[in-house]
């Protein structure tokens, strides 16, 4: 086969992503730290411990990110470090975050900062966390502090990571702290409170930093009825997909709460986003009428499934989810995309096939501006502890030694060449050669 290359635009952002609790270590004032201490909460009772040791030395992984040729990184701030007690702000913690952000700028890595990524200060939990309306003022005040102390180093912001995942895991599945406390009624209060927190943070940032780009990171899952299902099942799967994937975004776009019923107006919410962050991992089937689990983790024959039955590798779903975001009419960043794959069996093909879908979206003029691979380095995977490894860099948790995975070397080649090439495919995923480079028009393929 002749040499072929799928080029990305010159200003495309090539990134990686992490979250504070998952990499920093010793986040002792966080609800997740307390949760880990309880028997049976985390798979095999794993502890986050030093995590990936970022609080002491984020710089070594940032050096690796530079070598990889990336120019962007998404990270989050740990609220419980910045405000360990209500109204008590920790100057040393803020100074360390300044150092980390500055370290990125020094390496020409543009930071995208998430204010809330699943973990809460313990004191907030005592006040009812997101199921209580008091959270909105607290979140606004925390945001104002971050804007004031760190804002000059942050060009891109995410207010809240995956709000619907948070609500589901925290209140309904109970696998996040504080384990189902509040249940459905907590969840129904948390949704509007999360929307109000988002709006408050958006305006707090924009007032002081009008040039800042502020968005949301939305987990989008392909939710489908199984092949051959009845029309009713397909309709039900469609409704569930709207609820999980679109309800939050419709609310933010139109300034109204759509769930459970009615269209209550939420002040200052309409249009409060400058870009959309798309976190994409997998597709799930919906069992309707529910036989066993409503959301099934059983796959059709032939599916490629990642470690721990996490999910099916389904690259075209990324393209479908990009299309699902077009009605919201803003630039799109792929703020997370990755695969748990300790032995690195799947990650190289995963990266190539998913980036192929991003490239295809761009070739249709869809406004996809960047890609942040989850994750730069192996990190603490919430309730699944250390059992699932998403890193381009492999971490030995005991010794803190690192090794660039083979798929990390592929990502390095992609970032340096700003393209997918047939040589990369030949080297890292030969069976994909035909699939990835077949049928492109001559202007898109260099022979």
Residues belonging to the chain: 447
Q: How far is the CB of 254 from ligand BGC (least distance, A)?
A: 25
Does residue 52 touch ligand BGC according to CB under 6 A? Answer: no
Among 24, 110, 357, 381, binds ligand BGC (CB under 6 A): 381
Q: How far is the CB of 340 from ligand BGC (least distance, A)?
A: 7
Does residue 336 touch ligand BGC according to CB under 6 A? Answer: yes
H and E: helices and strands count for the chain: 16, 15
Candidates 8-16, 158-166, 324-332, 346-354; binding stretch for ligand BGC (CB under 6 A): 158-166
Residues 117-136 that bind ligand BGC (CB under 6 A): none
Nearest-CA neighbor of 379 among 365, 369, 366, 392?
Answer: 392
78 in Cβ contact with 30 (< 8 Å):
yes
244 in Cβ contact with 187 (< 8 Å):
no
d(CA 201, CA 210): 13
Phi, psi of 408 (to 5 degrees): -65, -35
Residues 275-314 that bind ligand BGC (CB under 6 A): 279
Query: What does DSSP say about strands 295-296 and 419-421: parallel, antiparallel, or unpaired?
Result: unpaired
Among 161, 241, 251, 424, binds ligand BGC (CB under 6 A): 161
Candidates 25-33, 43-51, 61-69, 160-168; binding stretch for ligand BGC (CB under 6 A): 160-168
Among 4, 68, 165, 278, binds ligand BGC (CB under 6 A): 165
Q: Which is nearer to ligand BGC, 67 or 344 (CB)?
A: 344
d(CA 327, CA 318): 16
Residues 233-262 that bind ligand BGC (CB under 6 A): none
Residues 385-404 that bind ligand BGC (CB under 6 A): 390
Q: How far is the CB of 417 from ligand BGC (least distance, A)?
A: 27
Q: Which two tokens stand for residue 323?
A: 């299309």
Q: Which is nearer to ligand BGC, 25 or 151 (CB)?
A: 25
Nearest-CA neighbor of 219 among 245, 247, 195?
Answer: 245
Does residue 77 touch ligand BGC according to CB under 6 A? Answer: no
Nearest residue to ligand BGC, by Cβ distance, number only: 19
Nearest-CA neighbor of 271 among 198, 178, 217, 174?
Answer: 198
> Which residues sit at the interface with ligand BGC, rule CB under 6 A?
19, 22, 161-162, 165, 219, 279, 336, 374, 381, 390
């Amino acid at each position: 086969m002749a040499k072929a290359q799928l080029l990305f635009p010159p200003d495309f952002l090539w990134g990686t992503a992490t979250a504070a609790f998952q990499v920093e270590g010793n986040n002792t004032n966080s609800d997740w730290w307390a949760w880990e201490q309880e028997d049976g909460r985390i798979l095999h009772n794993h502890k986050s411990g030093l995590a990936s040791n970022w609080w002491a030395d984020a710089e070594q992984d940032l050096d690796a990110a530079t070598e990889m040729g990336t120019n962007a990184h998404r990270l989050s701030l740990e609220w419980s470090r910045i405000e360990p007690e209500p109204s008590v702000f920790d100057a040393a913690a803020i100074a360390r975050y300044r150092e980390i952000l500055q370290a990125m700028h020094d390496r020409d890595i543009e930071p995208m900062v998430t204010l809330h990524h699943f973990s809460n200060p313990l004191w907030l939990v005592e006040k009812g966390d997101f199921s209580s309306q008091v959270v909105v003022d607290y979140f606004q005040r925390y945001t104002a502090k971050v804007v004031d102390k760190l804002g000059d180093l942050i060009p891109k912001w995410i207010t809240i990571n995956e709000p619907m995942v948070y609500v589901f895991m925290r209140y309904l599945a109970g696998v996040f702290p504080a384990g189902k406390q509040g249940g459905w009624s907590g969840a129904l209060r948390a949704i509007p409170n999360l929307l109000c927190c988002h709006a408050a943070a958006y305006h707090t940032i924009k007032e002081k930093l009008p040039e800042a780009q502020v968005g949301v990171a939305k987990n989008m899952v392909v939710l489908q009825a199984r092949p051959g299902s009845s029309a009713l099942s397909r309709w039900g799967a469609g409704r569930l997909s709207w609820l999980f994937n679109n309800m939050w975004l419709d609310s933010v776009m139109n300034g109204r709460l759509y769930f459970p019923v009615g269209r209550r107006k939420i002040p200052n919410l309409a249009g409060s986003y400058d870009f959309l962050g798309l976190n994409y991992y997998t597709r799930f089937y919906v069992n309707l009428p529910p036989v066993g689990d409503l959301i099934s983790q059983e796959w059709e024959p032939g599916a490629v499934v990642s470690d721990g039955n996490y999910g099916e590798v389904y690259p075209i779903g990324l393209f479908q989810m990009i299309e699902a975001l077009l009605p919201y009419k803003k630039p799109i960043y792929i703020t997370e995309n990755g695969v748990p794959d300790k032995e690195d069996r799947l990650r190289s093909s995963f990266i190539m096939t998913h980036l192929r879908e991003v490239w295809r979206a761009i070739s249709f003029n869809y406004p996809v501006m960047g890609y942040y691979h989850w994750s730069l380095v192996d990190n603490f995977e919430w309730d699944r502890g250390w059992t699932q490894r998403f890193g381009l860099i492999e971490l030995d948790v005991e010794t803190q030694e690192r090794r660039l995975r083979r798929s990390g070397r592929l990502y390095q080649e992609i970032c340096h060449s700003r393209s997918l090439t047939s040589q990369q495919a030949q080297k890292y995923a030969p069976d994909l050669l035909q699939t990835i480079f077949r049928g492109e028009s001559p202007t898109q393929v260099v022979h």
